[in-house]
Amino acid sequence: MLELFSTVYEVFMRTYPGFLRATVVTLQLTAIGVILGTVIGLIFALMKISGSKILEGIANLYITVIRGTPLIVQIMFLYFGIVEIYTMDNFWAGAIALGIHNGAYIAEIFRGAIQGVDPGQREASMSLGMNRKQTMQRIVFPQALRRSIPPLGNQFIITLKDSSLVYIIGVSEIFALANREAAQSFQPFESFLVVALYYLVLVMIFTYLLRWYENKLDVDKA
């Protein structure tokens, strides 16, 4: 046991400068993926509740396809599909793939949050002379956004872990670095144990920040 701890510590000390740089890449991928996914998700959530059969059908098709296929397949498909049309850096190809993937899940988060607002509040706002657009902007959206914070935070953490899959297209994030280290040092167990600790620390940090933010906003009272 002591020998294992010593070996893991040796791998950690040898690789931490590279892992710190790779962590920055991982966080950038995660942030871009969630921001892009939030924009896409909001658009498709509005399409789903628009009342238009065509828009609702398009949104349902997008959500079904994305949620019904593996992320790694989507990354490969989008990367090689984009490269055929336009030369793009593999980092941005991976980030866009994460954004499109997240968009399907975030669309359902927003749809549920919007439809979860008490219909009586909409009726009351309409009786006060607000039109549908004003009701959505002033009454529904603020409450829906607040209700969306916990699941959006969880989606951020999921995306953080999912970002490891972009190593398949050559992005130098945490998992890619661990993979290279394992191949070069012939210490796969120690290398992947170290990368697991990096992910665990990141997830714990963001889980704590998410809970702190939820308590600050008092989301449960939304």
The model's pLDDT over 141-200, given as tens digits with 9 standing for 90+, comes to 788 888 888 888 899 999 999 999 999 998 989 999 888 888 888 888 888 999 999 999
Q: Where are the alpha helices (DSSP H) in 49-187?
A: 53-67, 71-85, 90-115, 119-127, 132-135, 141-162, 174-185
pLDDT of residue 90 exceeding 70: yes
Q: For residue 61, give the CATH number of its domain.
A: 1.10.3720.10
Instruction: Tell me how many domains the chain contains.
Output: 1
Higher pLDDT, 205 or 3: 205
Q: Would you say 32 and 95 are in contact if contact means Cβ atoms under 8 Å apart?
A: yes
User: Considering the domain boundaries, does residue 222 fall inside one?
Assistant: no
State the helix-helix crossing angle for 188-217 and 174-185, rounded to 10 degrees. 160
Q: What pTM value is reported for the model? A: 0.86
Domain that holds residue 171: 1-217
pLDDT of residue 65 exceeding 70: yes
Extract the runs of DSSP E, i.e. beta strands, from 14-86. Answer: none
Q: What is the pLDDT of residue 104?
A: 96
SS3 69: coil
CA 185 – CA 178 distance, rounded (Å)? 10
Q: What is the pLDDT of residue 106?
A: 95
User: Considering the domain boundaries, does residue 41 fall inside one?
Assistant: yes
Q: Write down the residue that tokens 């065509």 correspond to.
A: 54
**Distance of alpha carbon 184 from its chain centroid, rounded?**
31
